[in-house]
Structure 1
Amino acid sequence: MNGLFPMGWAHYLAGGLLIGAGVAGLYVLTGRVGGMSSVFSTSWSWLSDRAHFQQARYLESRGWRLVYALGLVLGALAWALTLGAGSMRSTGLPAWQLLLGGLLVGYGARRANGCTSGHGICGLGSMQWPSLAAVLTFMATAFATAQFMALMATPVAAP
């Protein structure tokens, strides 16, 4: 188990329980599903006059979704302040790769009608069959990509 979790597993368990409790609490107390990709769309309703972003579903939920996103940012800040800047890790990737990855993930989230965390945590938690299909697709793609990248990184032996 140490090979899979070299820094321990307890903080992953605690994080998962907190995320699950937060999403479940939001749903049980308000009936709202808290996916982050919809926060992005509703945020544009504050800035853009385009008809797409001025839909009632965006206008009616943008206030609580903005507070939801603020909680995410404040949670990360509390983590950094509690554990110190040394607990923050860098990917070591150049900014252009992070930007390109973010754009591709954002495009995919819009095409899939939600992001991986939204479908995986909220969609599966509320037993939505489209979310199961989306999560299975995400996971199959991730496994295939990881295998492809590992294959590309493996040096070929000379004959």
Structure 2
Amino acid sequence: MLVTQILIARNLSQQFRSFKGITNATTTTNGNQAPSFHIVARNRVLKLMLTVIIIYIVCWTPAQIAYLGYSLGWVPLSYLNSPIHSLLTVFGFYNSCANPIIYAARYPEFRNALKEMFTCKSAKNTPLFEKMDTPNTSSNISTSKADIYSV
């Protein structure tokens, strides 16, 4: 996980170089050109990735160091299934719960989407998993269960 997240951040940094000179047509209050939307978005993603990586390291490093010590014989055999082992494992698993919290803290759109999902509200006030009519479907095409299973 750590390697893939570092590779993503590195790739975004390399892409930044291609957008470095691009600015918006608008001028800021101090007379400078506003940065391009791509640069602003890249900065937001890099900050988010940095936060995710730091939380990942904080959550998993203690458990992994303790397990390495156990494997090398530095930590006594009584460590396995001890309360500290359980605590470090749960702390590592907490990382899975941390990402939605990070996204909710950083993005109002994510908070709104979660709220709509849990309250079964969407743009058309329909439940999340209810079948919705799409405007691109033709009214002369009908498919029954028998048609689907006969193939």
Q: TM-score, normalised by structure 2?
A: 0.26
Higher RCO, Cα 8 Å, sep 6+: 1
Higher helix share: 1
Which structure has more strand as a fraction of its residues?
A: 2
Scaled by the length of structure 1, the TM-score of the pair is 0.25
